[in-house]
Amino acid sequence: MDVEAVLAEYRAHGFARLGPVLDEPTLLALRARADAIMLGEVVIPGLFFQHDATSGRYEDLELGRGFIGPSLDYRKIEKLELDPLFRGVIAHPTVEPLVRAWIGEDVVLYRSILMTKGRDGGTFLPFHQDGGNFWGVDRNPDLQIWFAIDDAPTEAGCVEIVPGSHVGGLATPLGGVIPADVLRAGDAEARVIPVPARAGEAILIHNHVWHRSGQNRTGKPRRGFSVCYMPASTRCVRKKRAPRQFFRVFTG
């Protein structure tokens, strides 16, 4: 991989394709593990679950419920660094030089999330940015890698991106869903492009690039594993609970 070329593209457009990273045996194992976790056959204390809304509407998601029983319709599973198979993806040797070139030698994890669109459609995810005060850290992370665990063609609700939209920074101090007036002013609907992916491919997605994903019309699950990296010097600033200790990604 030409690390500098990939990072130059990432800097300019807010996303960059890395090509195939995960091989077929790894993908089969990850899919089986994802199913087993959702079905409660593998129990890993500390995982965070969010189930899909039956309506497919983002506004209807029920937050704070966690694991609600065996189901393949969990929309998000977070803290997958607790699982050895997913941990292998987070610290994959193919992405290591790139992550270290962007961040530095000492890299920790902000989060790792499996984002699923179940075979029945999943939930529409509106344009958002991944950062802001809500994240509770002393600086905004700026590197995410999204790994396709299944094929994610356009009709599966692939990630959609507004190229170059990261350069304006966060739309609101809080971060998250981007207000409609900001999207209108930035002509998001005219500029957005689908970023379909084959299973095993990895894509860099800048935390501040405007991105969204639609529903899945393929009748097959569409799972993406999203990993956010940051420098080990990043500090947790949350006050309500003890500060987070971040997972160190590369041990060597």
Ligand X SMILES: O=C(O)CCC(=O)C(=O)O
The residues that touch ligand X, with contacts defined as CB under 6 A, are 115, 125, 130, 144, 146, 159, 205, 211, 213, 224, 226
Collapsed DSSP state (helix, strand, coil) of residue 65: coil
Would you say 9 or 78 has its CB closer to ligand X? 78
Q: At its nearest, how many Å lie between ligand X and the CB of residue 239?
A: 26
162 with 211: CB under 8 angstroms? yes
Q: At its nearest, how many Å lie between ligand X and the CB of residue 202?
A: 11
Q: At its nearest, how many Å lie between ligand X and the CB of residue 2?
A: 23
Q: Considering only CA atoms, which of 63, 73, 64, 84 is closest in space to residue 39?
A: 73
223 with 86: CB under 8 angstroms? no
Would you say 4 or 18 has its CB closer to ligand X? 18
Would you say 140 or 213 has its CB closer to ligand X? 213
Q: Using CA atoms, how far apart are residues 56 and 156, in angstroms rounded to an integer?
A: 14
Handedness of CA 223, 125, 130, 52 (dihedral sign): negative
Q: At its nearest, how many Å lie between ligand X and the CB of residue 132?
A: 13
Would you say 146 or 229 has its CB closer to ligand X? 146
107 with 250: CB under 8 angstroms? yes
